[in-house]
Amino acid sequence: MADIIIYGDPRSSYVRTARMACEEKGVAYDLEPVAPGSETIGALHPFGKIPVLRHGDFVLYETTAICRYVDEAFDGSTLQPADVEGRAVMEQWISAVNDYFYGVMIRDCVLQYVFPRGEDGQPDRAVIDPALEKSREYLAILDRALEGRDWVAGGDRPSIADLLIAPIMFYLHQLPEGSGLFAPFANLGRVGGLMTARPSFTGTKPPMPSEEAA
Ligand SMILES: N[C@@H](CCC(=O)N[C@@H](CS)C(=O)NCC(=O)O)C(=O)O
Q: What is the CATH number of the domain that holds 196?
A: 1.20.1050.10
Mean pLDDT in residue range 181-188: 98
Domain that holds residue 68: 4-73
Q: Residue length, the chain?
A: 214
Q: How confident is the model at residue 1 (pLDDT cuts 50, 70, 90)?
A: confident
Asked if 35 and 111 sit in the same domain, the reply is no
Asked if 32 and 110 sit in the same domain, the reply is no
Asked if 27 and 115 sit in the same domain, the reply is no
How much is the pTM?
A: 0.96
Tell me which of 73, 96, 119 is where a domain ends.
73
Mean pLDDT in residue range 29-33: 98
The atom number, within ligand 1, closest to the CA of 106 reads 10
Nearest in space to 170 (alpha carbons), one of 153, 152, 188: 188
pLDDT higher than 60, residue 212: no
Q: How confident is the model at residue 128 (pLDDT cuts 50, 70, 90)?
A: very high
The atom number, within ligand 1, closest to the CA of 41 reads 12
User: Are the C-beta atoms of 182 and 189 separated by less than 8 Å?
Assistant: yes
Is 193 inside a domain boundary?
yes
User: Are the C-beta atoms of 163 and 97 separated by less than 8 Å?
Assistant: no
Q: How confident is the model at residue 214 (pLDDT cuts 50, 70, 90)?
A: very low
Kindly give the distance from the C-alpha atom of residue 50 to the centroid of ligand 1, in angstroms, as a whole number: 5
Tell me which of 48, 73, 98 is where a domain ends.
73
Is 112 inside a domain boundary?
yes
Asked if 61 and 100 sit in the same domain, the reply is no
Which residues approach ligand 1 with their CB closer than 6 A? 12-14, 36-37, 49-50, 62-63
pLDDT higher than 50, residue 34: yes
Q: What is the pLDDT of residues 49-81, one digit of tens each?
A: 999 999 999 999 999 999 999 999 999 999 999
- pLDDT > 90 in the chain, percent: 93
Kindly give the distance from the C-alpha atom of residue 14 to the centroid of ligand 1, in angstroms, as a whole number: 7
Is 16 inside a domain boundary?
yes
Asked if 56 and 22 sit in the same domain, the reply is yes
The atom number, within ligand 1, closest to the CA of 14 reads 10
- Number of domains composing the chain: 2
Kindly give the distance from the C-alpha atom of residue 186 to the centroid of ligand 1, in angstroms, as a whole number: 30
Asked if 43 and 107 sit in the same domain, the reply is no
Kindly give the distance from the C-alpha atom of residue 147 to the centroid of ligand 1, in angstroms, as a whole number: 30
- Low-confidence winner among 25-29, 62-66, 115-119, 165-169 (lowest mean pLDDT): 115-119
Largest CA-CA distance found in the chain, in angstroms, rounded: 53
Q: What residue type is 1 in one-letter code?
A: M
Tell me which of 73, 98, 123 is where a domain ends.
73
Kindly give the distance from the C-alpha atom of residue 111 to the centroid of ligand 1, in angstroms, as a whole number: 13
Mean pLDDT in residue range 24-51: 97
Is 207 inside a domain boundary?
no
Mean pLDDT in residue range 96-109: 98
Burial class (CB within 10 angstroms; exposed 0-12, middle 13-18, buried 19+) of 57 = exposed
Burial class (CB within 10 angstroms; exposed 0-12, middle 13-18, buried 19+) of 43 = exposed
Q: What is the CATH number of the domain that holds 59?
A: 3.40.30.10
Is 29 inside a domain boundary?
yes
Please report, in angstroms and rounded to a whole number, the separation of the first and last CA atoms in the chain.
28
Residue with CA nearest ligand 1 atom 9: 12
Is 211 inside a domain boundary?
no
Kindly give the distance from the C-alpha atom of residue 154 to the centroid of ligand 1, in angstroms, as a whole number: 27
Asked if 96 and 197 sit in the same domain, the reply is yes
Beta strands 29-32 and 4-7 are parallel
**Mutation probe of ligand 1 site: the residue of 50, 68, 97, 115 with most atoms within 8 A of C-beta:** 50
Q: CA 49: distance to chain centroid? A: 14
